[in-house]
Structure 1
Amino acid sequence: MAIPVETIFLDPGAQGTLQSRIQQLFAEAILSGRFRAGEKLPSSRRLAAHLGVARITVTAAYTELVASDYLTSKGRSGYFVSDTAPKPPDFPPPPPRLDAVDWPRALGQRFSGGVTPARVPDWSSYRYPFLYGQTDPTLFDHQNWRQCALRALGQRDFASLTSDYYDRDDPELLAFIARHILPRRGISAGPEEILVTMGAQNALWLTAQVLLTQRRTAAIEDPCYPALRDILTQSRCHVAAVPVDADGLPPEDLPEGTDVIFTTPSHQCPTTATMPMARRQALLQRAADLDALIVEDDYEFEMSFLSPPSPALKSLDRDGRVIHVGSFSKSLFPGLRLGYLVGAAPFIREVRALRASVLRHVPGHIQRTAAYFLGLGHYDSLIRRMSDTLRTRREAMESAIAQHGLTVAGQGAFGGSSFWMQATDGTDSDQLAAKLRAKSVLIDPGRPFFFTPQDGARHYRIAYSSIPTARIEPGIALIAETLKNWP
C-alpha cells in the first residue's frame, strides 16, 4: 500500500533544517503506527514538489532514514517502511486508576500558586513583544557559539564533557570569571571564593538555603524580583519587605533583627533605579551595625551603554559580608542557565556542598563552551553589539513614550533593557495585559513584583530587548490607546 503524498505535511512551527524536519516527520509517523511496515513512500520528486522543497533535501532525508533502519530502498521500486523499523509499543489498555491518596494532606510543603508571572511560550509570534529577558536571535552570535560548542566536544576536552566534577567547576571558566568578569566590577576573588551555578535564581536559592532558617529574618526590596520572594517564602524565614524609592533600597528603613539583606543596587528589579555611591556606603554601614549579610544581585551590569556602571557593593566591602550574584543568562541567553556566586570561602564551601547534594554541578560541556566563548573574545563583541542596539531601541522607546503621553515610574542611570511604567489610578495591569495580548502586544503586569500584589495594580514593565526598533512606536501607540479608552 502506498502512503498518499497528500497526507504528509511539515509542521510550520517545528525547529531545525528542512532535512531534519522531514526525517522527524517520518520517524514519528512510524513510531506512532501511522505508517506501517511495507508501505511505500512517495517518490522523492513527488514529495519535494508537494512540500515545496528541493528534491535533494528529500533524498538526503530518505537516505538518513534508511541508515537508521526506518526505511528500506528497493532499487527502482522506491522507498518503503522497513520491516525491521522500530515498532510502536503494543501495550494493553491500562485499567482505570483510582487515586486513593489524600494529596492535600500528603503534601508536606507546597511550591505552586502565588502570583509568580506566567511566561507566554509563543511570545516571539506576537508583533509587539515588550517582554523582559528574552533573546533576540538577530543579536546572538550563533556561528561562534556553535564553533565553541564543537570545540568543547573535541577529544582535547573529552574529560570536561564526560567527567563527574562532583562538587568542582570547570577550571577554565572559573579562571575567566576571576580574571576578567569580576575585575570589571572591582572584585578580587580566588577559586575558593567562586561557585558556578545554574543561573542567578539557583544562586539565590542556594544562598537562602545556607543562610536562612525559620528563626532568621531576610529583608527584601518592595517591589522585587518575584522568584526571590518565592524562594524566601519557601525557606520559611521571616521576610521584611522594605519599599524602595528613586535611589533603590533605603538603608535606614531596614528593621532591627535583619539577618540577610537582598538587594539589586546597580539595577533595581523592577524599577531599574541605580543606588548612588553615598547610599551604597550607608547600606554597608547599616549591615555592619545589624551584623547582617548582604546578597547583591548584580544582573544586567553589562548593559551600561548610557554611562559606566556603579561599583559593585562587593568591591566596596571590607568586612566580607557581601555575597555577589552574577549571571550570563541576560547577556548570552536565558536558556543557558549559567551564573556564579562570589563570597567568603567558608560560605562558598557550604554552598558547594549543598549544590553537590542537589545537582552536583553545572554540565561540564556547557561550562567549557562558555569558557571558550568568553575567552576567545566573542562575549565582549556580543556585549558591544547588544549595547549599541539597545541604545537605539531605548531612544526609540523614550521618544514613543513621550509622544504618546505614557508615564515612566522608574528608569536606570546606566542603561538596562526595560522601563518601569505607571498608569492612572483604577487601572488593573493584569486586565491591561490581557487586552493588549489580544492586540498582539505583550507586557509584564506589575502585581507579581510586589509583596502586597494589590500595590502593583497600576504598574507594568515594558522591555526593548526582543522587539525590533521599527515596531516600538506602533506598539507603544497601542498601549497608549488601550489606556486612554480604559476600562
Structure 2
Amino acid sequence: MAIPPESFFLSTGAGGTLQQRIRQMVAEGILSGRFRPGDRLPSSRALAAHLGISRITVTLAYTELVASDYLTARGRSGYYVSGNAPVPPDFHSRAASGPQYDYARLTGERFSRTARVARPEDWSRFAYPFIYGQADATLFDHQNWRLCALSALGRRDFEALTSDYYERDDPMLIEYILRHILPRRGIDARAGEVLVTMGAQNALWLAGQVLLAPDRVAVMENPGYPGLRPILAQLGCRVAAVDVDQDGLPPDALPHDADVVFTTASHQSPTNATLPLDRRLDLLRLAGERDFVVVEDDYEFEMSFLKPVSPSLKSLDTEGRVVHIGSFSKSLFPGLRLGYMVAPESFIREARALRAQVLRHPPGHIQRTAAYFLSLGHYDALVNRMRAAFKRRRTVMDEAIRANGLDIAGQGGFGGSSFWMRAPESVDTARLAEVLRGQGVLIEPGGAFFAPDRPDRRHYRLAYSSIAVSRIPEGIALIARALQDDEFSARVP
C-alpha cells in the first residue's frame, strides 16, 4: 500500500529540526500501527513538494530511518516500511464498564492538594512573563552546551554514559564541585562529603527524610520556600514557621526545641533578604548550645551582582552542624535538575543510601555533560553574562516600579532575580494575577509562601530572569493600572 504525502504535515510551533520532525512523523506512524510493514513511503520529491521543504531534507531523514531499521530502500523503487520495524503491541482495548476505584479515598490526596505557586506551562507565550526561575534562551550558551553533550555521548565517555554508578557520582563532576564551586562559598570539603542530587528540591527531601521524624521539630521561614512545606508535612514532624524580617531569619525567634532549621540565608525566599554575618554567627552558636542542625539552601548565590557574596553558613561551621545545598537550576537551567549536598560523611552516607533506594543516581550523561561545561570555563562565562543582564534588568525594573508607585516589600541588597512586592490592603493578588493574565502579564501571587495559619493574600513576586529588558516598563505599568481599576482600588481603605 502506498502512503500518500497528505498523511504528513508540519505543525506550527513544534520543536526540532525539519529532519527530526520528519523522522518523528514516520516513526510515530509506524509505532501507532497506521504505517505497516511493506507500505511504500511517498517519494522524497513528492513529500518535499507537499511540505514545502528541500528534497535533500527528506532524503536525509529517510536515510536515518533506514539506518534505524524503520525503513528499507529498494533501489529505484523507493522507501518502504521495514519488516523489522518496531510493531505496536496487539492489545484489545477493554473499556472500564464498572465503577472506578476511588484512589482519593486511599491516598487522601495528601500530595496533590499542597499549595503551589501558580505558573502556567505556556508562560513563554505571554508578553510580560514576570515568572521566577525559568531560563532565558537569549542568555544561554547553546553551542557550547551542545558540544559538551556530544562529548559526553562519545565513545571516550561510554562508561560514564552507560554504566550504573550504583551509589556513586561522576568523579569528574565531583572534582569540579570540590575545586571550583565550593571554594567560592568558602567551603573546603572532601569527595565523601558531597552528594549529587536531582536539584535542590530532591536535596531538601533527602535532608528531611534523613534528619526528621514525627517526634522532631523542623523550623522553616515565613514567608518561605513553598516546596519545603509539603516535604515536612509528609514526615509528620511538628513545623514551626518563624517570621522573617528585613534581614531574614531572626535567630532569637527560634523555638528552644528545634531539631532542624531550614534557611535560605544568602537570598531569603521570597523576600531576597541576606542574613547578616552577626546573625549567621548567632544561628551557629545557638545550634551548638541547643543541639540542632541547620540546612542551608544556597539556591541562588551565583546571582550576587550588587555586592560580594556573603560567606556561606557552611564556611563558618566548625562543628559539622550545617548541611549545605546548592543547585545549578538558576545558573544553568531548571530542566537540568542537578544539584548537590555538602555535609559530614556520616550524613552523606545515609543520604546516599536513601537516594540509591529511590533513583540510584542522577543520569550519568547529564552529570558528565555538566562536568564538561563547568570544567571548560563555559559555566563561568555564562554566569558573568547572566549577572550583567540581571543587573540591567533589575535597574530598569526598580525604576519602573518606583515610577508607577508600586510598593516593594523586599528586594535584597546583593542581587538575585526578583522583587518581593506588596499590594494595597485587601487586594487579593491571586485575583490580581487572573486579571493581569488576560492582559499578557504573569505575576506570582504570594499566598503559597506563607504558613497556612498565617494566610497572606497581599504579597506577590515579580521576577526578571525570563523577561526582555525592553518589556519591563510596559509590563510594570500594566500592573499599576490594574491596581488602579475599580475592582481593586475600591477595596483599598
For normalisation by structure 1, the TM-score amounts to 0.94
Alpha-carbon shift at residue 65 of structure 1 (Å): 3.1
Kindly tell me: are residues 84 and 158 of structure 1, through their superposed partners in 2, closer, same or farther at Cα, counting changes over 3 Å? closer
Match of 1:301 in 2: 301
Match of 1:405 in 2: 405
Alpha-carbon shift at residue 79 of structure 1 (Å): 4.4
Whole-Å separation in 2 of the counterparts to 1:151 and 1:83: 34
For normalisation by structure 2, the TM-score amounts to 0.93
* Stretches of structure 1 lacking an aligned partner (at least 5 in a row): none
Classify the secondary structure of the residue corresponding to 1:456.
coil
* Stretches of structure 2 lacking an aligned partner (at least 5 in a row): 489-493
Kindly tell me: are residues 277 and 145 of structure 1, through their superposed partners in 2, closer, same or farther at Cα, counting changes over 3 Å? same
Whole-Å separation in 1 of the counterparts to 2:227 and 2:59: 49
Kept after mapping to 2: 8 A contact 1:447/1:453: no
Whole-Å separation in 2 of the counterparts to 1:423 and 1:134: 24
Structure 1 range deviating more: 272-281 or 54-63? 54-63
Whole-Å separation in 1 of the counterparts to 2:298 and 2:99: 46
Classify the secondary structure of the residue corresponding to 2:323.
strand
Whole-Å separation in 2 of the counterparts to 1:154 and 1:31: 28
The one-letter code sitting in structure 2 at the alignment partner of 1:259 is D
Kept after mapping to 2: 8 A contact 1:220/1:262: yes
Match of 2:289 in 1: 289
**How far does the alpha carbon of each residue in 1:5-63 deviate from its partner, in whole angstroms, 9 at most, with x for none?**
44532122322111110121122233334445565544433433432322211222233
Whole-Å separation in 2 of the counterparts to 1:108 and 1:115: 15
Whole-Å separation in 2 of the counterparts to 1:9 and 1:448: 43
Classify the secondary structure of the residue corresponding to 2:241.
strand
Match of 1:333 in 2: 333
Match of 2:257 in 1: 257
TM alignment of 1:186-197, pairs within 5 A:
186-197=186-197
Structure 1 range deviating more: 98-107 or 430-439? 98-107
1:377 counterpart = 2:377: yes
Alpha-carbon shift at residue 121 of structure 1 (Å): 1.6
Classify the secondary structure of the residue corresponding to 1:226.
coil
Kindly tell me: are residues 318 and 80 of structure 1, through their superposed partners in 2, closer, same or farther at Cα, counting changes over 3 Å? closer
The one-letter code sitting in structure 2 at the alignment partner of 1:246 is Q
TM alignment of 1:420-459, pairs within 5 A:
420-452=420-452, 455-459=455-459
Whole-Å separation in 1 of the counterparts to 2:315 and 2:233: 29
Classify the secondary structure of the residue corresponding to 2:439.
coil
Alpha-carbon shift at residue 249 of structure 1 (Å): 0.5
Whole-Å separation in 2 of the counterparts to 1:12 and 1:100: 38
Structure 1 range deviating more: 438-447 or 50-59? 50-59
Whole-Å separation in 1 of the counterparts to 2:27 and 2:154: 29
TM alignment of 1:56-67, pairs within 5 A:
56-67=56-67
1:55 counterpart = 2:48: no
Match of 1:366 in 2: 366
Alpha-carbon shift at residue 322 of structure 1 (Å): 1.2
Alpha-carbon shift at residue 319 of structure 1 (Å): 1.9
**How far does the alpha carbon of each residue in 1:149-185 deviate from its partner, in whole angstroms, 9 at most, with x for none?**
2222233322222222222222221121111111111
Whole-Å separation in 1 of the counterparts to 2:212 and 2:436: 40
Kindly tell me: are residues 190 and 74 of structure 1, through their superposed partners in 2, closer, same or farther at Cα, counting changes over 3 Å? closer
Match of 1:394 in 2: 394
How many residues align structurally?
487
The one-letter code sitting in structure 1 at the alignment partner of 2:124 is S
Alpha-carbon shift at residue 126 of structure 1 (Å): 1.5
Whole-Å separation in 2 of the counterparts to 1:451 and 1:368: 39
Classify the secondary structure of the residue corresponding to 2:400.
helix
1:169 counterpart = 2:169: yes
1:158 counterpart = 2:151: no
Alpha-carbon shift at residue 384 of structure 1 (Å): 0.6
Kept after mapping to 2: 8 A contact 1:447/1:454: no
Whole-Å separation in 2 of the counterparts to 1:32 and 1:100: 27
Match of 2:476 in 1: 476
The one-letter code sitting in structure 2 at the alignment partner of 1:307 is K
Match of 1:219 in 2: 219
Whole-Å separation in 1 of the counterparts to 2:185 and 2:74: 66
Kindly tell me: are residues 53 and 232 of structure 1, through their superposed partners in 2, closer, same or farther at Cα, counting changes over 3 Å? same
**How far does the alpha carbon of each residue in 1:74-132 deviate from its partner, in whole angstroms, 9 at most, with x for none?**
55555455566544444323153535745355338832202122432222122211110
Structure 1 range deviating more: 93-102 or 270-279? 93-102
Percent sequence identity is 63
Whole-Å separation in 1 of the counterparts to 2:270 and 2:34: 50
Match of 1:349 in 2: 349
Match of 1:207 in 2: 207
Kept after mapping to 2: 8 A contact 1:267/1:274: yes
The one-letter code sitting in structure 1 at the alignment partner of 2:262 is F
Structure 1 range deviating more: 435-444 or 25-34? 25-34
Classify the secondary structure of the residue corresponding to 1:455.
coil
Match of 2:491 in 1: none
Alpha-carbon shift at residue 254 of structure 1 (Å): 0.6
Classify the secondary structure of the residue corresponding to 2:301.
coil
Whole-Å separation in 2 of the counterparts to 1:364 and 1:83: 34
Match of 1:106 in 2: 106
Whole-Å separation in 1 of the counterparts to 2:167 and 2:87: 42
Structure 1 range deviating more: 227-236 or 69-78? 69-78
Whole-Å separation in 1 of the counterparts to 2:142 and 2:345: 36
The one-letter code sitting in structure 2 at the alignment partner of 1:199 is G
Classify the secondary structure of the residue corresponding to 1:160.
helix
Kindly tell me: are residues 102 and 3 of structure 1, through their superposed partners in 2, closer, same or farther at Cα, counting changes over 3 Å? closer
Classify the secondary structure of the residue corresponding to 2:165.
coil
Alpha-carbon shift at residue 202 of structure 1 (Å): 0.8
Kept after mapping to 2: 8 A contact 1:130/1:463: yes
The one-letter code sitting in structure 2 at the alignment partner of 1:245 is D
**How far does the alpha carbon of each residue in 1:346-371 deviate from its partner, in whole angstroms, 9 at most, with x for none?**
11121112112222222222222211
Structure 1 range deviating more: 157-166 or 134-143? 157-166
Kept after mapping to 2: 8 A contact 1:201/1:227: yes
Match of 2:132 in 1: 132
Alpha-carbon shift at residue 148 of structure 1 (Å): 1.6
The one-letter code sitting in structure 2 at the alignment partner of 1:313 is L
Whole-Å separation in 2 of the counterparts to 1:130 and 1:411: 15
Kindly tell me: are residues 39 and 357 of structure 1, through their superposed partners in 2, closer, same or farther at Cα, counting changes over 3 Å? closer
Kindly tell me: are residues 74 and 352 of structure 1, through their superposed partners in 2, closer, same or farther at Cα, counting changes over 3 Å? closer
